Structure 1
Amino acid sequence: MASNWKSLKPAERVAIQQQDVWSMINEAAAESVANMGQGFFNYNPPGCSSLRKSIAREYSLSFNRELDPDTEVTVTTGAHEGILCALMAFISRGDEVILFEPFFDQYISNIEMPGGIIRYVPLSAPQENTLRTSSAEWTIDFKKLNDSFNERTKMIIINSPLNPVGKIFSRKVLETIASLCIKHDVLILSDEVYDRLCYVPFTRTATLSEDFFSHTLTVGSAGKAFQTTGWRIGYLVGPDHLIRYVAAAHTRICYSSVSPLQEAVAVRFWDYSQREMKRKLDIFIQVFDELKIPYSYPEGGYFVLANMASIKLPEDYPFPLHISSRPRDFKIAYFLIRELGVAAIPVSEFYKEQTTVAATNYLRFAVCKTDEVLVQAKAKLQQLKKYMV
């Protein structure tokens, strides 16, 4: 039975959407009145942002439907703020959000700020019978997923490609997840910020069916897509009955995003070469092949997970207290920085505290660097030979 999207209620903080004084006066003034009310300039610098039109045009092709740039797209100050807007728009105190583990750590604070409760669904790491495994081998515990739904479940976050693993959720897996969401009238927040860096077929959740589209908010990032992370331009795409509340939350959080940067992105909503990032991956992983350190090759994104279980740290190494009290992967990460001059992220940070044991040997390496830095890092990591058992 098809689900009714009208049962997807926004949080009270955005539901009423009482018109603010600024838009009230501006609308009443219209064009024929000398608007001396709000302190905005009634003339613009050269250029006019058309980013929403560019996004709507691009996503209309993959969604196979005509998207309205005014009602089905909202631009945010980075994808991170966009995700917070979606959660502030629909999550109230006591609502539950399902989150796959490992997860992008910023999800946690974003869920907890509006009072949400997290239900974790673990992904099982691949059995490392070979030196190289694929991120595709990280598998969902579907029984745990099914059991996580209840009357308090309001949203699920799907991150594909998944940070930090690089796993791309297959069409079949997405259909299974989304069908559960339709059955329980649960919103889908589809974080697809790495969608232009996929090395295997990629499916957008919202494209699977009309019901899935009506339940899905898709997150994108100009920073990730076009290597401009400091510009802080993100966006959400979805049906008007969802986007309107995300836009309302965005207005309350930071009002608007920087116009010149939107214009810069809109000039050409271009494709970045997946081949170029895959080339960087292939350059960097050579060091793990040479050292025989097991690693997981990503299906998308630019992160490589390496298992450092074979690294023996000096027993008397002087770790500072804030490191010595953390899991082993924090110690390895600190050791690599201080002794080798290479920085990586401890993967236990992407797990809740109770399950960090699953990740305490893993480090996450980002290959979105110049070739010079990649070659330097490889040379420095060769020093690990003297610490391997």
Structure 2
Amino acid sequence: MVQDPFKPAARVAGQRQDVWSIVNEAAAAYNQEHGAGSVVNMGQGFFGYNPPAFVLDAAREALGRVECNQYSPTTGRPRLKKALADAYSPFFGRPIDPDTEVTVTTGANEGMLSAFMAFLEPGDEVIVFEPFFDQYISNIEMPGGKVVYVPLHPPANGATHTTSAGDWTLHMPDLEQAITARTRMLVLNTPHNPIGKVFTRAELQAIGDLCVRHNIIILSDEVYDRLYYVPFTRAATLSPEIAALTLTVGSGGKNFYCTGWRVGWLVGPEPLIKYVSAAHTRICYSSVSPLQEATAVAFEQADAHGFWDASKREMKGKMDRFNEIWRELGLPYSEPEGGYFVLVNLAKVRLPADYAFPPHVASRPRDFQLSWFLIKELGIAAIPPTEFFTDANAHIVEDWLRFAVCKEDEVLEKAKERLRGLRKYIQ
């Protein structure tokens, strides 16, 4: 039997159109009608401004050095690994060994893929809290893993009143019931995307103790670890037993406003990290050399520039500035505890009954229609969060949209002005 050479593998076949391409399609149509750059992009979580000068200067300097334009060691440039070890050691309360407990990856996403590739055999199960960052799912399934979803439960009055992201809760019996003999890993995300929840120490302790009891690896996605507005606990700091099972994920792009640099890392015990490093080597060999060097300098100089406190203060200011519009319009939202996303409930917005949505939008939950409508009619892009839910639980957020506030203040003000156009649709 002759096989079709163009038949895709099952892991990429039959997938419905993803949220990013749908949003970009609507934005492109708006820009074509109103002029390039007309859409106010509050959707994808990339920054609307450059890294600070000391970070950009470090990148320029690195590009001028011969050794920074060649292959780096597969586990990362020594200067960056040392900078990361120095940065994390105070948090962990012990010295981190840069040679055996740190590996640098091509963005946090490739780092997480490397972790899954390192430990999953076909049929192994990975627990993921719902809602989830969509890349987790494909990364788990690529090596043959099976995703087991455990929902976070929204506050009962979240659709009618402004609440805290911390009011989204995990029911521990749900988690315990999800664990089987095939459970190999658990993915934790704090501060959480898209909710903005920062898991409390008590919540993390309960999760960590359960993982210790069942010998489950914790992949702790902490890429927003410098943007928290309530007390923040790192999973690996809870106990030596939990630390022994925890891989902590970080992101230079999120830390220093440069998501396009694709510099990420994992920090964890040597018995885990060595296998992540081995998988990373086979996936992409090594990561971008000059930007690793620049990220190292950024860590070395951040404290002297007062960068961490300023970053947190400025992002919280942007969050507060932008969320004024929801209070003005009388629309409830979820007050974030960390990160730079805010979820807003638009149940009061009545879309025109005869509005002509394309079939691939009309067939999706209401938040996709809300997103399309806001782009086409108001020129503002936001992300429908049902993309981060299974179909069974998508109804939880079908009236919500996710907005990213990591933009210039003038863009936030332009977004607020356009959102005032919702008034005539609010009932």
Corresponding letter in the other structure for 1:169: F
The corresponding residue for 1:110 is 139
Contact 1:305/1:362 (8 A) holds in 2:
yes
**What SS is found at the alignment partner of 1:44?**
helix
The corresponding residue for 2:426 is 388
The corresponding residue for 1:374 is 412
The corresponding residue for 1:51 is 80
Contact 2:69/2:290 (8 A) holds in 1:
no
Q: Is 1:76 aligned to residue 105 of structure 2?
A: yes
Deviation at 1:99? 0.6
| Equivalent residue in structure 1 for 2:174, among 144, 148, 171 | 144
| Equivalent residue in structure 2 for 1:160, among 169, 174, 190 | 190
Structure 1's consecutive aligned runs of 4 or more residues displaced over 3 angstroms after TM superposition are 45-49
Tell me how large the CA RMSD over aligned residues is: 1.3
The CA deviation string for residues 295-341 of structure 1, in whole angstroms up to 9 with x for no partner, is 00110001110001011111111111111111100000000000001
**In the TM superposition, what are the counterparts of 1:323-342 in structure 2 within 5 Å?**
323-342=361-380
Q: Distance in 2 between matches of 1:45 and 1:387?
A: 55
Deviation at 1:131? 3.4
Q: How many residues align?
A: 347
The CA deviation string for residues 200-251 of structure 1, in whole angstroms up to 9 with x for no partner, is 1100100111111110000000000111100000000000000000000000
Contact 1:161/1:167 (8 A) holds in 2:
yes
The corresponding residue for 2:331 is 293
**What SS is found at the alignment partner of 1:293?**
coil
The corresponding residue for 2:213 is 183
Q: Distance in 2 between matches of 1:314 and 1:45?
A: 56
Deviation at 1:46? 8.6
Q: Where in structure 1 are there 5+ consecutive unaligned residues?
A: 1-42
Corresponding letter in the other structure for 1:274: K
Q: Distance in 2 between matches of 1:218 and 1:331?
A: 36
Contact 2:335/2:342 (8 A) holds in 1:
yes
The CA deviation string for residues 227-281 of structure 1, in whole angstroms up to 9 with x for no partner, is 1100000000000000000000000000000110001111121243211000000
**What SS is found at the alignment partner of 1:179?**
helix
Q: Where in structure 2 are there 5+ consecutive unaligned residues?
A: 1-65, 71-76
Q: Distance in 1 between matches of 2:359 and 2:121?
A: 37
Q: Distance in 1 between matches of 2:68 and 2:389?
A: 46
Deviation at 1:66? 0.9
Corresponding letter in the other structure for 1:317: Y
Q: Distance in 2 between matches of 1:349 and 1:126?
A: 20
Q: Is 1:87 aligned to residue 105 of structure 2?
A: no
| Equivalent residue in structure 1 for 2:157, among 115, 121, 128 | 128
Q: Distance in 2 between matches of 1:322 and 1:109?
A: 22
Q: Distance in 2 between matches of 1:49 and 1:244?
A: 16
**What SS is found at the alignment partner of 1:89?**
helix
The corresponding residue for 2:250 is 220
* Greater relative contact order (CA < 8 Å, ≥ 6 in sequence): 2
The corresponding residue for 2:235 is 205
What TM-score, normalized by structure 2, do the two folds share? 0.80
Q: Distance in 2 between matches of 1:321 and 1:268?
A: 47
Max Rg structure: 1
Q: Distance in 1 between matches of 2:345 and 2:121?
A: 39
**What SS is found at the alignment partner of 2:356?**
coil
The corresponding residue for 1:274 is 312
Percent identical = 58
The CA deviation string for residues 92-132 of structure 1, in whole angstroms up to 9 with x for no partner, is 10000001111111111001111111111111111227632
**What SS is found at the alignment partner of 1:296?**
strand
**What SS is found at the alignment partner of 1:79?**
helix
Q: Distance in 2 between matches of 1:128 and 1:296?
A: 11
The CA deviation string for residues 362-383 of structure 1, in whole angstroms up to 9 with x for no partner, is 1000000000110000000000
Q: Distance in 2 between matches of 1:288 and 1:275?
A: 21
